[in-house]
């Protein structure tokens, strides 16, 4: 009897499953796991498969990066493609790096393809300082749908469309997301797409269609940052802290400060969840292709 091929190179590898407000990841400690065994697109897709693998929105490998930084983050989307940055994966990386003794919880430097990130644990929650967001377009040549009020663009490590709407929960994210994610106005690589609407008490609700996952995720850290940036650029949320409710029901906190040299843009800090769900060892995972 024939069937999918077991990925024998994964057998016996230890992993950690983590979640950042429902945005979930499989983590590997690069000191103990061979890099080449887990970063092939075939292995990533199989590990992240929710029916036949561990299941995740993405895969992360942490490795010692001194003297450049304390830890280097290698992040891959569930479709096997690498990404320069994932906000919630970086929050999780902060928590796990401290737990593994790779860095101190009071402050660490993380190396990503999007630049160096300073982070720490604050009252038990990870907090990261992202690179300045200067690529901001408050309006985009994209038609608005029913109940949509504005659409803008910001690069918060990776590119994001942000659409202000009356009720994010009423949006057909699965139906509208694919075409907007590939819209020509966002550039050749496309962008994540976020819909945001107001909640009582000055908070905001958002939902994200995430490229590389090619579907809606429960949360998106860089999407929360881009959303806060556009809300401020539109003049409907002030500089300071913006609280954004994710689809998991948990809140992400984004604090925006003006750049010290007066350059147009924002210096963002993101605070949220970085929780270990379980630890395990891979027994048998089958190729999904």
Catalytic residue among 48, 92, 165, 220: 220
The answer to whether the Cα torsion of 24, 95, 129, 198 is positive or negative is: positive
Tell which residue, 238, 266, 268, has the closest CA to residue 252.
268
35 neighbors 287 (Cβ within 8 angstroms)? no
Phi then psi for residue 20, to 5 deg, are: -120, 90
Tell which residue, 173, 159, 274, 251, has the closest CA to residue 205.
251
Tell which residue, 197, 187, 195, 190, has the closest CA to residue 214.
190
| b/e map 1-28, b = 16+ CB within 10 Å | eeeeeebebbeebebbbbbbbbbbbbbb
User: What dihedral do alpha carbons 20, 108, 97, 21 form, nearest 10°?
Assistant: 0
List beta partners, residue 19: 24, 275
Q: What is the CA radius of gyration of the chain?
A: 19
92 catalytic? Reply is no
What's the N-to-C CA distance of the chain in angstroms? 18
Catalytic residue among 48, 86, 92, 165: 86
Residue that is written with structure tokens 């819209």 in the block: 183
Alpha carbon distance 266, 220 (integer Å): 18
220 catalytic? Reply is yes
Catalytic residues: 86, 220
């Amino acid at each position: 009897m024939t069937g999918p091929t077991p990925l024998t190179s994964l057998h016996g590898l230890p992993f950690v499953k983590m979640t950042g407000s429902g945005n979930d990841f499989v983590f590997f400690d690069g000191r103990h796991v061979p890099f080449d065994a887990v970063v092939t697109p075939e292995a990533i897709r199989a590990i992240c498969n929710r029916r036949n693998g561990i299941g995740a929105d993405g895969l992360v490998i942490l490795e010692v990066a001194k003297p450049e930084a304390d830890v280097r983050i290698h992040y891959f989307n569930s479709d096997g493609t690498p990404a320069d940055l994932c906000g919630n994966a970086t929050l999780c990386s902060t928590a796990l790096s401290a737990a593994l003794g790779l860095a101190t919880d009071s402050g660490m430097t993380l190396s990503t393809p999007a630049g160096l990130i300073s982070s720490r644990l604050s009252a038990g929650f990870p907090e990261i300082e992202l690179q300045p967001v200067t690529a901001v377009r408050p309006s985009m040549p994209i038609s608005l749908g029913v109940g949509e009020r504005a659409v803008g663009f910001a690069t918060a490590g990776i590119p994001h469309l942000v659409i202000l709407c009356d009720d994010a929960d009423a949006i057909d994210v699965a139906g509208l997301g694919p075409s907007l994610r590939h819209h020509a106005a966002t550039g050749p690589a496309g962008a994540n797409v976020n819909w945001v609407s107001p909640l009582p008490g000055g908070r905001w609700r958002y939902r994200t269609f995430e490229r590389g996952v090619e579907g809606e995720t429960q949360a998106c850290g860089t999407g929360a940052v881009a959303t806060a940036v556009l809300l401020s650029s539109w003049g409907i949320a002030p500089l300071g802290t913006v609280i954004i409710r994710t689809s998991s029901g948990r809140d992400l906190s984004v604090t925006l400060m003006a750049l010290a040299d007066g350059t147009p843009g924002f210096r963002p800090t993101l605070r949220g969840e970085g929780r270990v769900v379980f630890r395990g060892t891979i027994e048998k995972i089958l190729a999904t292709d």
